A and B are shown apart, each in its own frame.
Chain A
Amino acid sequence: MNRLQKLPRLTLLCSLLLVGLSAPLGAAEKAPQGLHLRIGTILASNESEDFDPKLSRMKNQLEVIKYSSYRLIKEEVQKVQWRVNAVFEVPGGRSLVILPQEYRNQRLALKVRLLQGDKPLVDTTVRLRNRGYFLLGGPAHEGGVLILSIFAMTP
């Protein structure tokens, strides 16, 4: 097989590699219109050993926290704009306020505040990957504790 016959294969392989490397660059510069926030409210306790099947994907992450049962109480989705507060109701007279700040290098910066009535409990700024999530837990509720899973993605 001569060099000419090898060329299309070589060209194809190199082109694919180049496209693969440059695609994230192109995507990073384009600011998306708003984002989707999904907040899952999970009740963790030691009162039983039931694991809500709706939480199967997070099983490993939740088992880090070492409660014996986990139940998804509710789930709320909001589409929000940048630099506009999104408020989510949390059981026990609490609320979660999220302010999406910016999107850079495929990372979303969120300012997150958990309140008990008007009193702030936690204020944090978190930078997470697009379509990523983190967990915020600890508030007591009905014999267990609440864990909020905060998931964000651009449309």
Chain B
Amino acid sequence: MTMDCESVRRTLGAWLDGEVSEKESREIRAHVEACPSCRAERSRLERLQFVLRAALKEGASKVTFESFWHGIERRISQGRVRHREFWDWLRPVILPRRLAWAIPVTVVCVLAVLFAEQFFFGLGWGPRSNVAAVESIDGHGFNLALLRESETKTTVIWLFEDEEEDEPAPEAASTDASL
């Protein structure tokens, strides 16, 4: 089957990238070899790729590895120093010889338990989740679905306007039976 120019141009990039099937590749190659316009298009794409790579390579060539590594090494050292300083600061408080900290920490824990609702509201971790509690719902004769996306618990209310249409039903990544 011979391909037309429009079909070839749509897949020319993928063909040059080696991402089409063998059959398609043969058809595209046959067309390109016979069609001056598509051949020119191929040349333009190849040149674009070449120039882009050259431009980025030129930009990157001025950076030596020594100076680049120096920046990484500095970050590693700073990270280790900050880490050590923080633990040096905290260690005497959490690992004392005597349990002088026990009373204030106990008070704090009791308060945390008493006010836990501020942080754990509904399902999941309150401030970090997007849980919306649906307190009431009426579809006025239409079918409805309640979904909950699993990562952030975002609530999705879905209305099926006309069940006779071929519109595919949304598939949920996870559904929450408690809805």
- A and B touching (Cβ–Cβ under 8 A): yes
User: Which A residues have a C-beta under 8 Å from some C-beta of B?
Assistant: 1, 3, 6, 9-10, 13-14, 17-18, 21-22, 24-25, 28, 46, 60-61, 63-67, 105-107, 109, 114, 119-129, 132-140, 145
The answer to whether A3 touches B118 (Cβ under 8 A) is no
Given contacts A1-B92, A135-B155, A138-B161, contact A24 B137 (CB under 8 A): no
* A residues less than 8 Å from B36 (CB atoms): none
Expressed in whole angstroms, the Cα–Cα distance for A17 and B93 within the complex equals 14
Given contacts A121-B142, A124-B137, contact A134 B159 (CB under 8 A): no
The answer to whether A134 touches B108 (Cβ under 8 A) is no
> How many contacts A-B (CB < 8 Å)?
160
Stretch from B19-27, B57-65, B66-74, B127-135 forming part of the interface with A: B127-135
Expressed in whole angstroms, the Cα–Cα distance for A105 and B136 within the complex equals 19
Size bin of chain B's contact surface = 35 or more
Expressed in whole angstroms, the Cα–Cα distance for A10 and B137 within the complex equals 51
B169 to chain A, nearest CB (A): 9
* B residues less than 8 Å from A3 (CB atoms): 98, 100
Expressed in whole angstroms, the Cα–Cα distance for A53 and B9 within the complex equals 25
User: Which B residues have a C-beta under 8 Å from some C-beta of A?
Assistant: 89-90, 92-93, 96, 98, 100-101, 104-105, 107-108, 111-112, 115, 117-119, 121, 126-127, 129-140, 142, 144, 147, 149-152, 154-162, 165, 167-168, 170-173
A8 to chain B, nearest CB (A): 10
* B residues less than 8 Å from A17 (CB atoms): 108
B68 to chain A, nearest CB (A): 30
Of the candidates A28, A114, A125, A134, the one whose C-beta lies within 8 Å of that of B155 is A134
B83 to chain A, nearest CB (A): 18
B134 to chain A, nearest CB (A): 6
The answer to whether A124 touches B157 (Cβ under 8 A) is yes
The answer to whether B165 touches A140 (Cβ under 8 A) is yes
The answer to whether A128 touches B133 (Cβ under 8 A) is yes
Given contacts A123-B140, A145-B167, contact A129 B131 (CB under 8 A): yes
